[in-house]
Amino acid sequence: MGDRKPYPSDVTDAQWALIGPFLRAWKAKRVSVSGHQGDYDLREIVNAILYQNRTGCQWAYLPHDLPPKSATYYYFALWRDDGTDQAIHDLLRCQAREKAGRTEDPTAVVLDSQSVRAANHVPAATTGKDAGKKVSGRKRALAVDTLGLVIAVVVTAASVTDNAIGIRLLDTVVERAPTVTRAWVDAGFKQDLALHGSVLGIDVEVVKRSDTRPGFVPVRKRWIVEQTYGTLMLHRRLVREYESRPESAVSRTLWASMVTIVRRLTGTSTPSWRHR
């Protein structure tokens, strides 16, 4: 960071000790023909990505003491396209599960989706309208384990049904964690998802909410994924759909999830935006 004053979103030394080795190994495999190592430290690039994720600012509004858009977007897009962000996220998730006394890969997941309004510059070809929630934009669907850690992310137009998006989620879950044998979903997911799950060797159970108890009642199993969504919403870049490409929206979700995981691993809490 040099001599600049740190931002609350910056990774700490302990957190960088978890992320840094992966990125240094990635950098070592991408040696420039001219031997040029780049003008910006990778830790500062990560800090810039996390700053934008947390504050929701536009690329042109990144602070002057962080790497500029040209460098930050270059690495963000590169790590998105070559799967580096996904690889780091999954390795950190395995560490978090082991620290919690679990096996590296889960055996059960919880699925859910949320509809997010899109900004006016987001291409109409990748958006749609959720007829049920009256939201025009995209759907962000998650599969999380019983600790609330993200296993799979799928981003589609909001017009895509939960059943179709659930099928894509299960396919991604099998790819990321082939040990999963059980999935809990809400009533928005239909019989086709259960049939697809049986083909994949996953038992899909619909967990319905109670209509007899008044007020807010956490629903068994389903509250886990809802809690994960609530934590991700601390990152204002995710509150609205700003990304032109759905792949970028997936990457944003992974970076936000990584923040939660490294905080678990280092025992630190998320700084509050409220004045004490």
Domain map of the chain by residue range? 105-241
d(CA 184, CA 109): 6
Rounded to two decimals, the pTM is: 0.91
Instruction: State yes or no: pLDDT of 244 exceeds 70.
Output: yes
- For 31-85, the pLDDT digits (tens) are 765 555 667 899 999 999 999 999 999 999 999 999 999 999 999 999 999 999 9
Which DSSP string do the residues of 161-184 spell out, in sequence order? Answer: -HHHHHHHHHHHHHHH-TT--EEE
Please say whether the beta carbons of 135 and 169 come within 8 A. Answer: no
More confident residue, 4 or 236: 236
Could you read off the pLDDT of 170-180 as tens digits, one per residue?
Answer: 999 999 999 99
Q: Which amino acid is at 141?
A: A
In percent, how much of the chain has pLDDT > 70? 90
Residue 18, pLDDT above cutoff 60 = yes
**H-helix or E-strand spanning residue 112:** strand 108-117
pLDDT of 106 higher than 80: yes
Backbone angles phi, psi at 167, to 5 degrees: -65, -45
Q: Is the pLDDT of residue 132 over 70?
A: yes
| CATH-assigned architecture of domain 105-241 | 2-Layer Sandwich (3.30)
For the segment 219-233, the average pLDDT, to the nearest whole number, is 88
